[in-house]
Structure 1
Amino acid sequence: MPSRSPSPNLFTRLPLAGSYPAAVTLALLALSPYLILTTATALMEPQIMRSIDATAYELQLSSGMSNAAYAFGAVACADLVQRVARRRVYLVCECGFVLSTVLALSAQNIGMYATGVVLQGLFTGMLLVAALPPLIIGHPIDKLQTTAAVVSLGLFGMVAFGPLVGGLVGSLGGWRPLFAGIGTLALIGLVVGSLTFEGNAPPDRRAKFDWTAIPLALGTTALPFFGVSWLTRGHFSDPEFYVPVVVGLACGVFLVGGQYRKERPLMPVRPISNTLPVVGTLNAMLVGACFTTLLELIEVYYIREAAFSPVRIGALVTPQILGVLIAALLFRQLMSTRWTPYLALCGSVSVAIGAAILLAASTSNASATVPVAAFFLGFGAGAGVTPGLFLAGFSVPAAQIGPTFALVELLRSEAAFLIGPVLLHFALVQGLADGFHQAVGITLGLTVLGTLGLVTLYLLGGARPEAPDLVSWHAGTSTGYHSPALLAAVRKA
């Protein structure tokens, strides 16, 4: 994969350098293996627990810390690539992912397994920032729309594919062979990357380690994710739950606030504090969190209340893959037009429709309701998250898209992992027969109120639908969007 302006005098030309198909393959293989596992693991938990003699809490904590490592890894890589060539970061992280997968699949106890999956999350988060920006800005502008669709499929297409994979493994057995297959995909990605990813001169070898951002990012992710994992064995009233969550959220506030005030921040908070990027980021957080929550509720409800097999549940939610695919193709057509904010709005509306359908779901009508709801959820995830990501990305100079993606993914992951496990625990406490529908109703309410709030924020900003200036953005001479300030219409009144 080429850098933005590779120097032929400094770097040896690689066999697949400049090949767009190879660059797309590289990016998908960097992200897909881990993202498949994030939604596949839940349906094969009993097998893993028996195999390594682990408790439900230990497995949930492993998953939570893995998700935390993913979000933290994106921020850490944004700092690292200032001083280290992206090719080197990519190759080290891909090697690390392969080795951590081997550690997890060969685990004989929870310690080995947890170490493996946490490292998988860390390296994938770093790969997000190392691999995606060169794909987006390192190829001709006529590839940008296809790249946007690829990003959508890479982020949510594989997440949507995970339950089907997990259901097959959960019913038929073979979680270790699945991990072996995931490791093989990563190994192929390493080979493709070594033949494709060109070297680059780091932008600032003398850049200092950001002692304000990195520790706060660690606290922002690790503490709340530990706290909500505690709910698997505890209660809302336990200090092990609310103390880490409160302290972690405080770290997040200080992180964002500090980056906003800093003269040379690691992440461009100030440039994306205007109407369009704020609405896009909040929409990605809202849609991602509600999608994840509803998917978890479906899986737990039909496993525990209806005693459905994992493969049946995986098949029931498979239509979400079609929804994500349609959303990706639609975004490909609309990305360069003024309709991107409307597509993001359609994403949140679609998730709300999916939640409303689930209110009518029961153990007796699952075959009729769940697939339809899953389609709307998949479309909502694809239409709501990736357009929101690009609304923020096009609001900063092209060179800053990596740190911008890191910040948005940090916030999106935070929202998803806080809301999902909390509402799942609420449903279990209430008793799944009633708690499932109550939790779905709460999620629907959050989606509707959040969507109305974002529409209001958009209108109060005085934003007008406009096509992004992708030529200037891609050339590095200007931002794609020139968004009005937050509440600009109110301030002028």
Structure 2
Amino acid sequence: MRQGPLAGRYPAVAAMVTFALIPYLALSAAVDPLVPIITESLHMSEQTMTLSSGLGNAAYAVGTVLAVQFAQHLPQRRMLLSYAAVLVVGSVTAAAAPNAPAFITGHILQGLATSMLLIAAAPPLTIGFPRDKLKITAVIMNMCVFGAVALGPFIGGVQAESNAWRPLFWIVAGIAVVALVLAVLTFEDAPPADRDAPRDLPAIVLAAVGCTAAFVGAAQLTSHDFSDLAVTVPMLGGLALIVVLIVYQFRARRPLLTVRTMLTSAIPVAGVGVALFAAAASVAATVLTAAVFLKTYSPVHVGLLYLPELGGAVIMAFVFGFVISRRAIHYLPLVGMFLLAAGIVVFRFALPANQPLALLGSTLTGLALGATVAPALFVAGFSLKSNSLQRVFAIIELLRAVAAFMVAPIFVHFATRVSSDLVEGTEIALWVGFGLAIMGAVFGVAVYALSGARPQTPDLDEFLDGDEPAWYSPPLLARLRSNVSVEPPVHHPHVDSGPSVDRSVHAGAGPVLLAYDGSDLAAHAIAEAAGRVPQSVAIVVCVWQPVDLGFTPVDDQHVDADRASDVRRAAERTAAHGAALARDAGFEASSVAVEATPTWRGIVAAADEHDARLIVLGPHRRAGLLGHLEGSVASAVAAHTDVPVLLVPEPEESEAPAAHR
């Protein structure tokens, strides 16, 4: 395995991610005061400049899907090097552009490379290092995305004050070069994620065509009315294709994006929804007010008015790092939405030129940005297994790009058309943004309440190990569905000493619960239990969950892991096979398949439902110093039930495959 000299060193990898994400994100927020200078220098119209930004943002959105697809089939770290190289090429092309086509090409490459770097580099930084680094990663992610955006207006204003634009673009190119160098120094070869994954060309086409059309249509608002076909056809058509993409991925047999898992689970839906509302509402607090302030102040003065946004983002980044391992992480996005609403109200009364209120509004907005999108992203990610994090980031960034970047020209157009007075029109638009912020807060609270979701302290060890999500997320709207449980039982532990003592377990009142996941080791546990438990009634339980299954199917029938009905039927067949093994061993056995995440919750729930007097598990022996410890599922079951647990270890000579636990 080829490695760079700084491979595996957290500071170097974190610096690489930082320098990779900052250039385009900061530039996207810095370019507004530079528009007159760039258009004059490159002899292009304001409409063409807006189109350039729209295409760059579209490329950013499409890059999230491309990065996930490439990660499945191509060496991931080599692709990261390629993305960093593309960022350098795009940045140099834009900085040296002699004309509009070259500038637009460079800007598109910058947007495309940045999102691909985010998807390729951020998840490994999050889950590829020990738990104590996760707080630092949270701060870095917040600063990279929202610190860079908050700094944009100031650096754009400073550059505009000198009546030039290329120095800033060359600085951006230099930062991109540093990112590429760090990518080489931290290189650590990694194989593709899943060579057997399908090549989902329809998803890529839908994302590319949909995002491009939607952003181009919105960009046309610079010189067209909303009712013009040049606006409505591409914009609404593009949005329709993005919706088709989501539906297609939800129903696909083997989807590229884990849409089904996210949209059927309460906490991820709440996280994604809050992120989208925050992205859309924040536009009103920055883009619109900046346009009004520029009527009174110079670009650098306006940049100074927005500089407190950076301070607010920095403060909240550290707050996020502090709460990421605590239950308070659930409340942070909600606090952020109310801060955003407050910031928008303050900006409303800061117009047309109240500097103290503008500084206060900027501070509140910076705090809000740091408290909403990145925390909401992690709240959604923690609700799934860590191996889904890359796809979670991709889905959220795709939708966030649409919500934030496409809404901006719509808000600007609305403010200029709703009233002949720009200040009055902006004030009305700000109230719309305020409404979006409040709606986002209400949406998140409603999803939690109607689904029975509760703020929980994340189990980061389980999450980083890849065994289970960081917490339990109930099915979406579970409280409105009578056949869905929202609260798995939790009991006090009691562990039987069966594995180390050769004795029989005497009969009691209820049945024996035999956990069976289709593995040879689970079958061995059933056979061994028959010798320890006299003739007895047994319930064989197979726990399943969509996408990750949680068991090994016992037949050759095709199972679509993303289709819940397929997984349930396979789990029922597996449980029935386990019951047959139990009957052959002497039990009077029946079977049941239980949907639960994580697996131990299903076992504990089944034991509670059937009043089991004993739970039998076959934990898997691990190598090295951990060789005599029980498996993670067995440990969790023992820690969450007061039913005695019989652990039947695998025999020394066993060559059984590891079970899907």
**Shared fold (TM-score greater than 0.5)?**
yes
Encode CA deviations 1:115-174: one digit per residue, 9 max, x unaligned. 110111011111111111111111112111211111111111101111111000011133
Aligned to 1:334: 323
Count of matched residue pairs: 480
User: Match of 2:427?
Assistant: 437
2:278–2:440: 8 Å Cα contact kept in structure 1? no
**d(CA) in 1 for partners of 2:389 and 2:440?**
26
Partner of 2:550: none
Kept in 2: contact 1:280–1:341 (CA 8 A): no
Q: 1:212 aligns with which of 193, 202, 213?
A: 202
Does 1:277 find its partner at 2:268? yes
3-state SS, counterpart of residue 406 of structure 2:
helix
Please give the alpha-carbon distance, in whole angstroms, between the structure 1 residues aligned to 2:448 and 2:260.
Answer: 18
| Counterpart selection for 1:129 from 119, 125, 142 | 119
SS of the aligned residue for 2:143 comes to helix
Counterparts of 2:2 and 2:66 in 1: how far apart (Å)? Answer: 28
**Residue 389 of structure 2 corresponds to which residue in structure 1?**
401
The answer to which structure has the higher helix fraction is 1
Query: Which whole-Å CA distance do the structure 2 matches of 1:453 and 1:17 have between them?
Result: 42
Does residue 456 of structure 1 match 2:476? no
Identity, % of aligned pairs? Answer: 38
1:391 counterpart = 2:382:
no
Aligned to 2:154: 164
| Aligned 8 A contact 1:463 1:483 in 2 | yes
User: After superposition, where does 1:256-271 map in structure 2 within 5 Å?
Assistant: 256-271=246-261
Q: Which residue number corresponds to residue 3 of structure 1?
A: none
Match of 2:351 in 1: 362
Displacement of 1:418: 3.0
Q: TM-score normalized by structure 2?
A: 0.71
1:427 aligns with 2:415: yes
- Corresponding residue for 1:295? 286
What SS does structure 1 have at the residue aligned with 2:140?
A: helix
Alignment match of 1:93 (pick from 67, 77, 83): 83
The counterpart of 1:313, out of the listed 291, 297, 302, is 302
Tell me the secondary structure at the aligned position of residue 64 of structure 2: helix
**What is the CA-CA distance between 1:206 and the residue it aligns to?**
4.3
Q: Identify which of 343, 350, 366 aligns with 1:378.
A: 366
Matches within 5 A, 1:60-139: 60-139=50-129
Cα distance in 2, alignment partners of residues 34 and 206 from structure 1: 33
Gaps of 5+ in 1: 1-10
Call closer, same or farther: CA 1:187–1:262 in 2, change over 3 Å. Answer: same
Structure of larger gyration radius: 2
Query: 1:206 and 1:270 mapped to 2: Cα distance?
Result: 20
The separation in 1 between residues aligned to 2:314 and 2:22, in whole angstroms, is 15
Query: Which residue is 2:213 aligned to?
Result: 223
Look up the match of 1:179: 169
Would you say 1:481 and 2:471 are equivalent positions?
yes
Confirm or deny: 8 A CA contact 1:43 1:299 kept in the other structure.
Answer: no
One-letter amino acid of the structure 2 residue matched with residue 321 of structure 1: L
Report the 3-state secondary structure (helix = DSSP H, G, I; strand = E; otherwise coil) of the residue aligned with 1:270. Answer: helix
**d(CA) in 2 for partners of 1:213 and 1:432?**
41
1:293/1:421 contact within 8 Å kept: no
Which is strand-richer, 1 or 2?
Answer: 2
Structure 1 contact 290–420 (Cα < 8 Å) conserved: no
3-state SS, counterpart of residue 107 of structure 1? coil
Partner of 1:6: none
Instruction: Please tell me the residue identity of whatever aligns with 2:288.
Output: L
Distance 2:335 2:270 in 1: 13
* 1:55-81 deviation digits (Å, cap 9, x = unpaired): 111000100110110111111011001
Cα displacement (A) at 1:292: 2.4
The alignment status of 1:418 with 2:409, answered yes or no, reads no
- Aligned-residue Cα RMSD (Å) equals 1.3
Secondary structure class of the residue paired with 2:72: coil
Partner of 1:437, secondary structure, is helix
Alignment of 1:185-196 (within 5 A): 185-196=175-186
Whole-angstrom CA distance in 2 between matches of 1:82 and 1:449: 37
Give the structure 1 partner of residue 20 of structure 2: 30
What is the TM-score when the length of structure 1 is the normalising length?
0.95
Q: Which moves more between the two structures, 207-216 or 316-325?
A: 207-216
Return the alpha-carbon distance in structure 2 between the equivalents of residues 381 and 343 of structure 1: 11
Partner of 2:504: none
Alignment-mate amino acid for residue 444 of structure 1: F
Does the 8 A contact of 2:61 with 2:115 survive in 1? yes
1:397 CA drift (Å) = 1.7
Structure 2: any 5+ residue segments left out of the alignment?
484-661
Give the AA of the match of 2:6: L
Q: 1:205 Cα shift? A: 2.8
Contact kept in structure 1, 2:277 and 2:439, CA below 8 Å: no
Q: Distance in 2 between matches of 1:52 and 1:413?
A: 27
Cα distance in 2 for residues equivalent to 1:15 and 1:260? 42
Q: Which residue is 1:4 aligned to?
A: none
Instruction: Specify the alignment match of 1:55 in structure 2.
Output: 45
Q: For 1:70 and 1:459, how far apart are their aligned partners in 2?
A: 34
The answer to whether the 8 A contact 2:352-2:423 is kept is no
- The answer to whether the Cα contact below 8 Å between 1:320 and 1:378 also exists between their aligned partners in 2 is yes
Q: CA deviation at 1:481?
A: 2.6
- Once residues 418 and 364 of structure 1 are traced to their aligned partners in structure 2, the CA distance between those partners, rounded to angstroms, is 27
CA contact (8 A) 1:64 1:229 kept: yes
Alpha carbons 1:43, 1:310 under 8 Å: kept: yes
Cα offset, 1:13, TM superposition: 3.4
CA contact (8 A) 1:354 1:376 kept: yes
Partners of 1:329 and 1:196 lie apart in 2 by: 26
Aligned mates of 1:197, 1:110 — CA distance in 2: 35
SS in 1 for 2:331: helix
Letter in 2 for 1:382: G
Cα distance in structure 1, aligned partners of 2:406 and 2:28 = 15
1:154 equivalent to 2:144? Answer yes
Partner of 2:593: none
